[in-house]
Chains A and B, each alone.
Chain A
């Protein structure tokens, strides 16, 4: 699944970012490295969302959200 399929209020673990090199590195530099947990704070019908990564909020367009492969975080 991608982050775009995620639900509001849940946390997801980043598996891979499939964007061009510059965009991928930009996301990783912001802390979206593999294994990082991303919380979806809010989500719109068009797939744009507000996420929290390592304590910082970002707004992602649907294009970005759709390029991040994630898995649901198991409650531990």
Chain B
């Protein structure tokens, strides 16, 4: 029988850990430079000769303290699960910082293998790493790999298969000339990778004695327990329950960190040749992208390019989708006719499902390009620079520059954007970011803008649609500013984010990311939008008298008529619009498919469909100003049920979820009413 091994992947953020993981499993994981992005445990499996390896991707972390959720989770997993081998993925081009986590992992006592990733970058920079000396000093196997070029992958798994039983390697060799004179009772240099000062080693020995005689703590690794007690780690201190105040007179956490770094400096001194030989390209790029004068214009330019591609290339591709949809529609109609399908069934399939789901599917190219652009920005390393560039503005709003990243992600989809706000440490910061992120125009709202802008604004369609993004950002910023004024707390700017090296985005990483998003979109079209389309079709074709040809006698019309007066001040006082907006709560794209169903237009995005719809709407006195107000309302009101569910999950409060709904509805009504009333004056 094949032997099953559990292998955990641990590493710093931005070290290429997830790329390496993907190289083995091909799992559809999101890969990004955003710390904590893989906060959910991801698993995959692979076969290696006689072994079955279960691979687990853990969140990117810098250390193993118990101060953050990700670090706690990783520590618990390593200590408590049946993990057999830990692969510590390190960015070889930033070895000094990466080794800190390595030393902490080694102290946990499970077999660790160091995978030195990004060796290609090390070579490019003319640096060399002594691959003989490094494993000697660490006492663990060190395997050079390149996740991007897919080299060293087999050798790494070979090491996993062979290293699994070794709790301790005996090839540790230290040369500590100055320490040889040490008179410490115990010579630990051939036992442990990191040996601390005599003072700390004495205390460790004393604590271990007490732990052993007490016998309450069951562990094979007393040394780690002793170290954690010396660091005054809350979890471990509570678990131990002994009074050790005679030994532990203060927290030795800083000393322990300092001494680990002292040892890392020794390693770097011995193992790294030609440090900083070549100035990193990153510094040259950063001179522009994070420059005080050039940073902001560069950011705006990049965003403008992203939207330009989303609209132009997306629309060009959309043309082909529409033509295909026309043909499908004609073929299905003819097929149903030939089969002699009943009127109700024909209406359900053609008017309900095809116009609803199909109308939304034609936006796939726009959405594909937007997510491709966001993936490129993340994977290249630019995204975290945005936090720095936007920091001056954000700190005026009482937010950390980091809060801008969830907001940018909000251009893609509000659900993961709200989730990304987790990386903010301060709970108040997090709450305010969660409250304003839904104002950032997500890709689901794009279909609404594209449809109405093209219908009513002709050649000015692109600026009209683009203005939605600007209005959304303005409302978000204004809302954040007002909230900051209301509750004046904090004032300190706690921005702390790593700016990783720029790199050429990895095709595989990008492909997995974009496919994941496209799949989500298709799934949504097949489920939520499918069901919503049928539901809307039912509401519109059935009334108190059963199936009806007269839509104004339908259930939907009755509901819409109740709400229409409320929307009248915003120029949206039609029952059809009220109904379309309610249906948009399922997903924003549904607003488009609802219009298609409501006005009986089979291919709403075709030129003929748009002309038809525009004519019908004009008959109701609905013009360009009304269309613009509708776009604003769609921009600002509740994004979708899924977003509300995520907001509730993140804020863990019904009160704040309610506040968020009221804020969205209030802003949508207020801004669209203002625009309509002022616009009507001219």
Contact = CB atoms under 8 A, between A and B. Distances in A.
Interface of A: 22-31, 33-34, 36, 41-48, 50, 53-64, 66
A25 B493 contact: no
Given A31-B261, A63-B493, 8 more contacts: A25-B253, A31-B100, A33-B254, A54-B97, A57-B286, A61-B391, A61-B401, A63-B492
Given A31-B96, A42-B290, A44-B391, A61 B67 contact: no
A47 B96 CA distance: 27
A73 to B, nearest CB: 16
B190 interface: no
A16 to B, nearest CB: 10
B392 A44 contact: yes
A48 B257 contact: no
Contacts of B493: 46-48, 61-64
B497 interface: yes
Interface string B267-297: 0000000001000001100100011100000
A8 to B, nearest CB: 9
Contacts of B67: 22, 25-26
A60 B392 contact: no
A48 B391 contact: yes
B391 A29 contact: no
A59 B283 contact: no
Interface residues of B, number: 40
Interface string B488-507: 00001111111110000000
Contacts of B63: 25-26, 29
Given A29-B100, A59-B388, A64 B495 contact: yes
A41 to B, nearest CB: 7
Contacts of B170: none
A interface secondary structure, majority:
mixed
14 contacts: A25-B67, A26-B65, A26-B496, A34-B254, A34-B258, A42-B291, A45-B392, A50-B286, A55-B93, A56-B498, A61-B395, A61-B492, A61-B495, A63-B493
Nearest to A53: B97
A41 B388 CA distance: 13
Given A22-B67, A29-B63, A29-B100, A50 B401 contact: no
Contact of B496 (A44, A54, A56, A61): A61
A59 B384 CA distance: 9
Nearest to B291: A42
Contact of B495 (A25, A36, A48, A57): A48
Contacts of B283: 41
Contact of A60 (B253, B286, B495): B495
B442 interface: no
For A45, A50, A54, A58, which residue has the most chain B Cβ atoms within 10 angstroms? A54
Contacts of A29: 62-63, 65, 100, 257
Nearest to B400: A61
Contact of B499 (A30, A31, A45, A58): A58
Contact of B261 (A26, A33, A50): A33
A29 B334 CA distance: 69
For A25, A47, A56, A58, which residue has the most chain B Cβ atoms within 10 angstroms? A56
B97 A55 contact: yes
Given A23-B494, A25-B65, A28-B257, A59 B391 contact: yes
Contacts of B254: 24-25, 28, 33-34
B341 interface: no
Interface string B378-404: 000000110110011001000011000
A30 B495 contact: no
B79 interface: no
Nearest to A26: B67
Nearest to B251: A21
A44 to B, nearest CB: 6
B94 interface: yes
B235 to A, nearest CB: 14
A13 B498 CA distance: 20
Contacts of B286: 41-42, 50, 57
A34 B257 CA distance: 10
Given A42-B292, A59-B401, A64 B494 contact: yes
A6 to B, nearest CB: 15
Nearest to B259: A33
Contacts of A34: 254, 258
A50 B291 CA distance: 10
A42 B65 CA distance: 30
Nearest to A46: B392
Given A25-B65, A63-B494, A46 B290 contact: no
B499 A50 contact: yes
B11 to A, nearest CB: 14
Contacts of A23: 494
Nearest to A42: B290
A22 B65 CA distance: 9
A43 to B, nearest CB: 8
Contacts of B387: 59
A48 B401 contact: yes
A74 to B, nearest CB: 19
B409 to A, nearest CB: 18
B495 A59 contact: yes
Given A26-B67, A47-B493, A61-B493, A33 B498 contact: no
Contacts of B392: 44-46, 48
B50 to A, nearest CB: 39
Contact of A50 (B62, B97, B290, B492): B290
Contacts of A60: 495-496
B325 to A, nearest CB: 46
A28 B65 CA distance: 11
A34 B366 CA distance: 51
A44 B65 contact: no
Nearest to A24: B254
For B95, B254, B387, which residue has the most chain A Cβ atoms within 10 angstroms? B254
A30 B392 CA distance: 24
Contacts of A31: 96-97, 100, 261
A56 B92 CA distance: 12
A30 B62 contact: yes
B296 to A, nearest CB: 11
Which 7 residue pairs across A and B have the least CB separation, nearest first? A61-B495, A61-B493, A63-B492, A29-B63, A59-B388, A63-B493, A57-B499
A47 to B, nearest CB: 7
A29 B94 CA distance: 14
B97 A30 contact: yes
A40 to B, nearest CB: 13
A30 B94 CA distance: 11
Contacts of A53: 97
A41 B65 CA distance: 29
B495 A56 contact: no
A44 B293 CA distance: 10
